[in-house]
Chain A
Amino acid sequence: MASPTKTSTDEFIKGLWRENPVFVQVLGMCPVLAVSNTALNALAMGLATAFVLIMSNIVVSSLRNFIPKQVRIATYILIIATFVTVVDYVIQAVSLDLYKALGAFISLIVVNCLILGRAEAFASKNTVGQSMMDGLGMGIGFAFALFCLGAVREILGAGSLFDVQLFHDTFQDWVVMILPSGGFFTLAGWLLLFNWLKQRKERKAKTAALALGGEVA
């Protein structure tokens, strides 16, 4: 029983970091950029997407032997659309302010390529348990990435985090960060950081290999 547990944990971890949907795979960009203007919006959007992702992964995976190959994409989209409608109505019931802030982007979770991508690439080939863990990992990774973006944009653009003022009154807001272009810039910044980390790791590995080779010679 040890190995399946380990695999599920692996599925969970990979979505969080190594294959993070936003920073590494660059999937599902539209909501990432559009609703990350405050940390709260970003987190709510991330959680909503994570929920849809987990549920659709579970359903797709449990129905994977019944869905004919030819119509699978259409079927996946209908399954996803069902859960998105649920989320849409739940958010509307819980907080009308949030619903207004997120606007049409809740409905647009349907066409988030991340969800369809996971259904096609993972849930249609794996067991329910693994698919659930995959959805959980990817979903939390997505929410985490959204939060990273939202937090940076809110701190720089409004000088606050979760509506709590962080700086002294003299802080000049970087209005551009709240505007659409700020989304592009912030995401570019995060991607730069990740690229840099990756390159540094590769360089280190290379120098280590070289040093080892030198000793052998």
Chain B
Amino acid sequence: MPSESLWTIFINASLVNNFVLAYFLGICPFLGVSAKLETATRMGGAVTFVMLVSSICAFGIQLLLVAIDAPYLKLISFIAVIASTVQLVEMIIKKVSPALFRALGIFLPLITTNCAILGLALFQTNKGYSFVQCIVYALGAGAGFTLALVLMAGLREKLELAEVPDVTKGTAMALMIAGLLSVTFMGFGGLGG
């Protein structure tokens, strides 16, 4: 596994094994904030950024845990680090760019409970990626998440104008679209090995 080329890792994480549509990670924000294109793009950006930071942190923690021989602390330390990373990112953005902070609003704290972030940290340790591979993997996963979110938002914006039966309104419809998107993404199978 660790001998995969960086390009393969990126394509795998973003398209073939898309975090949202193939691994079902981060479904809550996927369904929750995909109603508008603009918010979807911003959310995607925020998630990608946190993914990158927490991926780097997780790599360091894994080294430390292996060194002190305490693998059972993995989960607890990962989640604690992710929660504090999100908090830290929130504070930095607030200080540096209040405009961006207001734009992201409630989405930032919500990222803590986004399983895509923790999933990324766990998968990269399971696969035993090197430092550079971890960064590429995080970028790919973030790109895939953003892509899925934006596609979904575009579809749902169009759907607002369509006449659908009463029963299918809301989550049921969103899930059916997600299913179709997921079928589409299966077409990427085999790309990048």
Contacts of B27 in A (CB 8 A): 29-30, 33
A191 in the interface (beta carbon within 8 A): yes
Closest beta carbon of chain A to B124's beta carbon, Å: 11
Closest beta carbon of chain A to B25's beta carbon, Å: 6
Contacts of B24 in A (CB 8 A): 29-31, 33-34, 180, 183
CA–CA, A176 and B179, complex, Å: 10
Contacts of A195 in B (CB 8 A): 167-170, 172
Q: Which of A30, A34, A179, A187 contacts B175 (CB 8 A)?
A: A187
Stretch at the interface among B50-58, B97-105, B110-118: B110-118
B154 in the interface (beta carbon within 8 A): no
Contacts of A31 in B (CB 8 A): 24
B93 in the interface (beta carbon within 8 A): no
Q: Which of A30, A104, A110 contacts B26 (CB 8 A)?
A: A30
CA–CA, A169 and B20, complex, Å: 35
A80 nearest in chain B by CB position: B79
Contacts of B167 in A (CB 8 A): 192, 195-196, 199
Contacts of B83 in A (CB 8 A): 73-74, 77
CA–CA, A53 and B187, complex, Å: 38
Question: When the two chains form their complex, are residues A188 and B75 in contact, meaning their CB atoms are under 8 A apart?
Answer: no
Closest beta carbon of chain B to A100's beta carbon, Å: 12
CA–CA, A73 and B26, complex, Å: 19
Contacts of B25 in A (CB 8 A): 30, 34, 108
Question: When the two chains form their complex, are residues B123 and A104 in contact, meaning their CB atoms are under 8 A apart?
Answer: yes
Question: When the two chains form their complex, are residues B75 and A110 in contact, meaning their CB atoms are under 8 A apart?
Answer: yes
Question: When the two chains form their complex, are residues B80 and A188 in contact, meaning their CB atoms are under 8 A apart?
Answer: no
Closest beta carbon of chain A to B141's beta carbon, Å: 13
Would you list which residues of chain A between 98 and 150 have a CB under 8 Å from chain B? 104, 107-108, 110-113, 116
CA–CA, A89 and B31, complex, Å: 32
Question: When the two chains form their complex, are residues A181 and B186 in contact, meaning their CB atoms are under 8 A apart?
Answer: yes
Contacts of A34 in B (CB 8 A): 23-25
Q: Residue-by-residue, is A174-217 near B (CB-CB < 8 Å gives 1, otherwise 0)?
A: 00100111111101100110011001000000000000000000
Contacts of A104 in B (CB 8 A): 119, 122-123, 126
Contacts of A151 in B (CB 8 A): none
B contact face: mostly helix, strand, loop, or mixed = helix
Given A30-B27, A180-B21, A184-B182: A78 touches B171 (CB 8 Å cut-off): no
Q: Report the tally of A-B residue pairs with Cβ distances under 8 A.
A: 111
CA–CA, A89 and B83, complex, Å: 23
Question: When the two chains form their complex, are residues A191 and B172 in contact, meaning their CB atoms are under 8 A apart?
Answer: yes
CA–CA, A29 and B172, complex, Å: 13
Which of A78, A111, A183 has most chain B Cβ within 10 Å? Answer: A111
A85 in the interface (beta carbon within 8 A): yes
CA–CA, A12 and B171, complex, Å: 26
Would you list which residues of chain B between 168 and 193 have a CB under 8 Å from chain A? 168-173, 175-176, 178-180, 182-183, 186
Question: When the two chains form their complex, are residues B113 and A111 in contact, meaning their CB atoms are under 8 A apart?
Answer: yes
Contacts of A29 in B (CB 8 A): 24, 27-28, 31
Question: When the two chains form their complex, are residues A185 and B172 in contact, meaning their CB atoms are under 8 A apart?
Answer: no
CA–CA, A27 and B32, complex, Å: 11
Pick 7 A–B contacts, CB within 8 A, sort by A: A29-B27, A29-B31, A30-B26, A78-B76, A82-B76, A104-B123, A184-B178
Residues of chain A at the chain B interface (Cβ within 8 Å): 26-27, 29-31, 33-34, 73-74, 77-78, 81-82, 84-85, 88-89, 104, 107-108, 110-113, 116, 176, 179-185, 187-188, 191-192, 195-196, 199
Residues of chain B at the chain A interface (Cβ within 8 Å): 21-28, 31, 72, 75-76, 79-80, 83, 112-115, 118-119, 122-123, 126, 166-173, 175-176, 178-180, 182-183, 186
> Which 7 interchain pairs have the tightest Cβ spacing?
A184-B179, A188-B175, A181-B182, A34-B24, A29-B27, A191-B172, A33-B24
